[in-house]
Amino acid sequence: MSRPALRTAIFAACGFAAVAAATAPAVFAQSFPARPITLICPWPPGGSTDTHLRQFAQIASKHLGQNIVVENKPGAGGMLGPGTMAKTAQPDGYTVSQLPMGAFRIPHMQKVDWHPLNDFTYIIGITGYTFGVVVKADSPFKSLKDLIDYAKTNPGKFSYGSTGTGTSPHLLMDELGMKTGAQFLHVPFKGNADSTQALMGGHVMAQSDATGWGRHVDAGTFRLLVTFGEKRTKWNAPTAKELGIDIVSYSPYGIVAPKGMDPKIQKFLHDAFRKALDDAEHMKVLAQLDQVYWYKSSEDYARWAAETFKAERATIERVGLLLK
């Protein structure tokens, strides 16, 4: 090739590259998402997280321009779904998952084949749970004091259901026992819906969980004895702090994807989910479930995850569950 022809070819290539760079965002915006997105709910259908995520997905779909399909994958304290996603799904934006607090606790308690900081792309923080303890409406336990007195008098005989070993509802009861001298019998389930059925059927004496019990309290089926937030919820049961027990628990969660996601896709998802988070319809959902607004950008969510993973080690060690 002659020198002039070579120069012409080089200039043409450079021009093509410049045009390609200029049009890349437009092409990307048009190409993603090209099909429905799967949002993994790592809890059974019918629970509080499932209820929230299904409504969030419906609202977010209009901001994404594609449907979001919620897929339930319960188990392993809420980590079967995201853990499986981390190992098997592509980081192409078409599979995302809710990430519960168990992600930052379970690795301190047992060996796992995923890492909370290295195996996920953090997209956005969205909300958090309110926790409480409920009994059946016809239960002889009218107050938290009744429950604690029975558990102290009958060590290991007061049974309660939770969403799994190492989850916030489980650790709350462990801490309650440590601070009051009561001994409880923990019965772990895959999620809120399962433990609710167990309480309704009389298989456990109480349920420690997030606000999935709310509709049953509203219906008069369950009695709410205590909540663990800074202030009372709309059900107006006393907080543990009001009762002289120094426990405040807050369990936020967000949405993550497999590691290695293209930053452009990460930003696209973040921006769409942020619009859904701030949508007036979603704010109504949070109010109905008595869940807090907890926005974290991708960067802030990843930073919070690193800090929380470190801090949760101390929590697990305090309750005697640290992996030896």
- What is the per-residue pLDDT across 87-127, written as a single tens digit (0 to 9) for each? 999 999 999 999 999 999 999 999 999 999 999 999 999 99
9, pLDDT greater than 60: no
Q: What distance in Å separates the CA atoms of residue 189 and residue 44, rounded to the nearest whole number? A: 10
pLDDT band at 46 (very low <50, low <70, confident <90, very high): confident
Say whether 116 sits in a helix, a strand or coil. coil
- What is the per-residue pLDDT across 163-197, written as a single tens digit (0 to 9) for each? 988 888 999 999 999 999 999 999 999 888 899 99
253 Cβ contact partners less than 8 Å away, ≥ 6 residues apart? 49, 98, 99, 100, 101, 125, 126, 127, 128, 129
242, pLDDT greater than 90: yes
17, pLDDT greater than 50: no
pLDDT band at 21 (very low <50, low <70, confident <90, very high): very low
Nearest Cα to 168, choosing from 149, 188, 185, 153?
188
Per-chain mean pLDDT for the chain: 90
Q: What distance in Å separates the CA atoms of residue 103 and residue 66, rounded to the nearest whole number? A: 28
For 204, other C-beta atoms within 10 Å of its C-beta total 23
CATH 3.40.190.10 matches 132-227: yes
Q: What distance in Å separates the CA atoms of residue 257 and residue 90, rounded to the nearest whole number? A: 9
Nearest Cα to 49, choosing from 129, 121, 114?
129
Strands 120-129 and 292-296: antiparallel
Q: Structural domain boundaries of the chain? A: 34-128+251-318, 132-227
At residue 1, the pLDDT reads 53
CATH number for the 34-128+251-318 domain, one of 1.20.120.1630, 3.40.50.12780, 3.40.190.150, 3.40.50.720?
Answer: 3.40.190.150
Are 34-128+251-318 and 132-227 equal in CATH topology? yes
Cis peptide before 33 (omega within 30 of 0): yes
CA-only gyration radius of the chain, Å: 23
- What is the per-residue pLDDT across 126-168, written as a single tens digit (0 to 9) for each? 999 889 999 999 999 999 999 999 999 999 999 999 998 888 8
At residue 10, the pLDDT reads 45
Once rounded to an integer, what is the mean pLDDT over residues 214-235? 94
- What is the per-residue pLDDT across 51-89, written as a single tens digit (0 to 9) for each? 999 999 999 999 999 999 999 999 998 999 999 999 999
